Structure 1
């Protein structure tokens, strides 16, 4: 999953959160007026603080790196405290108890970024609902028009929030899936990458074969080995040897194409599978790599080295079945034939 896709999903998540905050802000502004009219001063004062909270949340979400988890905690905490206060002051059956049911599922799926906080809300909301039911289920402190109005208004608010919450949970779960997929891809990339040269290692070969050579194609298999590499390590040290490996890998990355396969096969050996190419072109590509390496210098302080490589190249015209491991073995045999013929040469068949 690309970074841009994850940023887009987070942007949508923040937008849904803003819409949800606007709905709750409107609800609390209405509550403030209603409670002032019916003379429930403590609830009116409480809603002043609630309105302030839902003015702060959108401001937090507008920041460059919004603290979405903090906003979610504030949101859930405010809803729970407000519902408890309304039931205690006004009694049961006005629709405030429905807020607990609406937010119980939210607690289970929304990520607050802290397991202890998530567990707290998951336990506190159903516990508060049950306690309030046993204490206030037969308590009716407001009757008549305002009772019907509050119940209807709460039903509308809960239904509106349920719709928005469904989008919130969908995007939240999609984000979690994308993040998990990205982590899996990152782990996969690390396991298939040589840590020194930053090209593939031999473990990545099978996946490349499955994806690119499952059907007949013209390709060439190249094995290359740095000449006298042990002498370089023994004379100048392994740090210089590592510089040589990185230099060679970078030259290969500039010569081979993105659809070709390039890996550090082991030690100072490199393997390349050059796809969709004829034999003459493949030979020329490898010869160009050989000449580029031979004319390049590896510098380390005052040390300046000339490095050469010997190559074995086997061509497959894609006309029939092939055994990639036999081709690699044959390229390796040609490579060592080149070593015995003076090195710094491309041997092919």
Structure 2
């Protein structure tokens, strides 16, 4: 992200009150500085008709800076327009065209697009009024070119004020809206990812949900049958007598067991293995490209680690056991339903033959 993007992103992330206050200060302080510079030039070139009015403008913007928290931004932009319009009109009426004060009308008409009320009718009405005043002055006032040596100084000053005011406001506004769109798009992507994560991951265990595992398993079987994978291993795992834990120690403690099992699974399987909370206390693990015998060894070590894990519920040390059904596919093509059913049958075989064991089969 560029420096400009970071600056406007920080600006946009501020709350509405803070953004308004920053905008207000920039406009009021900028106008105050401009009028101080005007005052120096008026004194230097002895433009007495404008010195008194400019003193008023300096104190006017100083007042707006000091009491900015009491004046809303939309009201400020209106009085800002009025002050600039009056100042430009008075300057042209007193010393004529050619000094560049006519450029202040162009500043107004350019910046009003961004600074005035959001109502498009109000914007157009104000811009039309400024244009009318400008052209009325144009046809009624004398041109000062070649009559006054101060013309060049004032014209350069006003041109710079016009050039920088318009370009800074327009650049800042367009950049702000550009970054705003980027930021809102980022927020949409983040929101989408957040909802995707909620949909795909179980909040309690941090493991993927059933529908995500179903998609991944379906794709893995197609890859295996198509020769893209050397083998597949599907593992059904179930916490033994989990209902007794819930009934005896309560569901919150049952949730602690589930969360802990999920953490142990994530710590002991490979990064590419897909671990799913299939439902309740039942888990499903999909492993790809596993050498023969490896799956059984890792699952049996995992079973032992879970058995040695102690839980303290109501001042009672409680241990849990898990039973695993492991179906390893090496030599034959297989369908989704067949693989699920085989692993499930192996799990129940372990349940009915004493629990806390791994039942392994290769097909």
- Provide the TM-score with structure 2 as the length reference: 0.69
* Map of 2:38 onto structure 1: 34
Listed as ranges, the gaps of 5+ residues in structure 2 are 13-18, 43-49, 90-100, 145-150
CA distance in 2, matches of 1:237, 1:34: 79
Cα-to-partner distance string for 1:152-178 (whole Å, 9 max, x where unaligned)? 631343134433443333222211211
* Structure 1 range deviating more: 25-34 or 265-274: 25-34
Cα-to-partner distance string for 1:131-155 (whole Å, 9 max, x where unaligned)? 7337734453986445785356313
* Map of 1:13 onto structure 2: 9
Quick check: which has more Rg, 1 or 2?
2
CA distance in 2, matches of 1:273, 1:286: 12
* Map of 2:137 onto structure 1: 140
- Provide the TM-score with structure 1 as the length reference: 0.72
* Structure 1 range deviating more: 144-153 or 197-206: 144-153
* Map of 1:113 onto structure 2: none
Out of 80, 83, 86, the position equivalent to 1:85 is: 83
Pairs within 5 Å for 1:187-336? 187-206=195-214, 208=216, 215=223, 216-217=228-229, 218-317=231-330, 323-336=335-348
* Map of 1:45 onto structure 2: 59
CA distance in 2, matches of 1:207, 1:101: 56
Pairs within 5 Å for 1:88-127? 88-91=86-89, 93-99=102-108, 101-102=110-111, 104=113, 121-122=118-119, 126=123
Structure number with greater CO (CA < 8 Å, separation at least 6) is 1
Cα-to-partner distance string for 1:2-54 (whole Å, 9 max, x where unaligned)? xxx8x9954553489999x889956652343225623332323334457779x
Pairs within 5 Å for 1:137-176? 137-140=134-137, 144=144, 145=151, 146=154, 150=158, 153-176=161-184
Q: What SS class does the counterpart of residue 103 from structure 2 fall into?
A: coil
Cα-to-partner distance string for 1:176-235 (whole Å, 9 max, x where unaligned)? 211221122112212222232232221332565689887533442211011112232233
CA distance in 2, matches of 1:328, 1:24: 71
CA distance in 2, matches of 1:14, 1:244: 43
8 Å contact kept, 1:106–1:165: no
* Structure 1 range deviating more: 32-41 or 224-233: 32-41
* Map of 1:61 onto structure 2: none
Listed as ranges, the gaps of 5+ residues in structure 1 are 57-69, 108-119
Distance 1:47 1:9, change over 3 A: same
Cα-to-partner distance string for 1:64-119 (whole Å, 9 max, x where unaligned)? xxxxxx9xx85x76555423321134239534454454463589xxxxxxxxxxxx
* Map of 1:180 onto structure 2: 188
State the aligned residue count. Answer: 313
Q: What SS class does the counterpart of residue 278 from structure 1 fall into?
A: coil
